[in-house]
Amino acid sequence: MQVTTVHHAPAGTDPTVIGAASGLLGQYRAAPDEAFFASPTRTLLTDGVHVRVPQDGRPLPVRVADTLARARRDGVEHPLVVGAVAFDHDSRAELAVPARLRRCGALRDDPLIALPAPTTDRAEWQVRSVPAPEAYGAGVAEAVRRLRAGELDKVVLARTLELTAGRPLDLPAILQRLARRDPGGYTFAVPAGSGRTLIGASPELLLSRRGTAVLANPLAGSVPRSADLGEDVRRAAALLESPKDLHEHAVVVDAIRAALAPYCRTLDVPARPTLVRTAAMWHLATTITAELADPAVSALELATALHPTPAVCGAPTPLARRAIGEIEPFDRGLYAGMVGWGDADGDGEWVVTLRCAEADERTLRVYAGAGVVAESRPEAELAETSAKFRTFLDAAGVPR
């Protein structure tokens, strides 16, 4: 197995080496200060901390740029930061320049990723829904009332499941199952502070930058998959024609277009969305490409200009954030934030933190949300969040 091991070096190992990416996945041990991140372009495994991004009042891109400059002065040749940023990116970021970094090609390009994931041992789970399903439905109904009154255009409401296991969790095995279920997506396990781990498999790229080339891939508008092939195809086709979901998606795309435009020399936004599938869901997706006007603008600066998009918050953003604070009975923390990496040259990949949980030794807090528009029905949004939970619950071995 060929894997590049460096303090930090430019990307560019041979993606054709069989077993490199799945090997890094298999070496994740959920040790303190260990992080794993896999995308359609690369696989990263880090260990230890060279320097952390400070938590202070300065804008996040400034703090990260200063941290990377410090690492470079310390002799780190090509430093990068890895980790997660909260839904409220001004309040919290768990980012660090790692002490050791190994990287290779993408999981999806490694044939060994098709091998079976570790089997799930049976465990006894205590499960508590926050809020309770009926309370979540009431929250959706309240949001619909506000939407129909013209107070806002869209709001995303989330709920959580708090799970406690009878024995210590096997986070490496959970990560293996998440990655092998959707190897073409974005899989991550990064420190979440206070000894906790943020672990998940997101389908949604917020933004990536390579040189002056920028890519965003917003998802909004969803329907659960079906085990029946004919029904699965029917649901996908109906999603492409659903006025409710197309409107929800257009709100997100328009917001991203408006946020990116001031930074870009060219900006290409397709007129209609396409479909993206995961093991559990169909999503409407639009691939947005752009060319930066100023090559000094980093991926993280662009990502913070976009975040939170209407895909995880709503529109208009200030009114949607206020509605979320009034309706949701919990702090989102790192959920619906962003997770990924950024380097000292300004390149990076930042993914929307979805299909995830915060974990400690025996507990998981799993998150899922649904976009609410004026045409939404509480029972449909409850069903959508339940379907989204399954990505993580199946990986954790929680029975249906």
Catalytic residue among 204, 301, 349, 384: 204
pTM summary value: 0.93
Predicted local confidence at residue 253, as pLDDT: 95
Kindly report, residue by residue over 374-385, the tens digit of the pLDDT.
999 999 999 999
154 carries an active-site annotation = yes
Question: 7-60, pLDDT tens digit by residue?
Answer: 443 334 455 578 999 999 999 999 999 999 999 999 999 999 999 999 998 999
Q: Which of 307, 300, 306 is nearest to 343 (CA)?
A: 300
**Residue range 119-171, pLDDT digits in tens:** 777 778 999 999 999 999 999 999 999 999 999 999 999 999 999 999 999 99
Q: Which residues contact 328 (CB under 8 A, 6 or more apart)?
A: 131, 139, 157, 158, 159
Which carries the bigger pLDDT value, residue 399 or residue 49? 49
CA atoms within 13 A on the CB side of 299: 28
197-249 pLDDT per residue, tens: 999 999 999 999 999 999 999 999 999 999 999 999 999 999 999 999 999 89
Catalytic residue among 94, 124, 142, 154: 154
pLDDT at 400: 79
Asked if residue 198 lies in contact with residue 353, where contact means CB atoms within 8 angstroms, the answer is yes
Q: What is 112-153 written as a DSSP string? A: GGGSPPPPPPP--EEEEEES-HHHHHHHHHHHHHHHHTTS-S
Question: Which two tokens mark 362?
Answer: 């025996």
pLDDT of 3 higher than 80: no
Q: Is 4 exposed, middle or buried (0-12, 13-18, 19+ CB in 10 A)?
A: middle
pLDDT in tens, 293-332: 999 999 999 999 999 999 999 999 999 999 999 999 999 9
Higher pLDDT, 91 or 115: 115
Q: How far apart are CA 114 and CA 112, in angstroms?
A: 5
How far is it, in rounded angstroms, from Cα 166 to Cα 164?
7
For residues 333 and 128, the answer to whether their CB atoms sit within 8 Å is: no
pLDDT averaged over the chain?
Answer: 93
Q: Where are the alpha helices (DSSP H) in the chain?
A: 20-27, 60-73, 133-148, 171-181, 229-241, 243-260, 299-306, 317-327, 378-396
What pLDDT, on a 0 to 100 scale, did the predictor assign at position 34? 98
Residue 16's pLDDT is 55
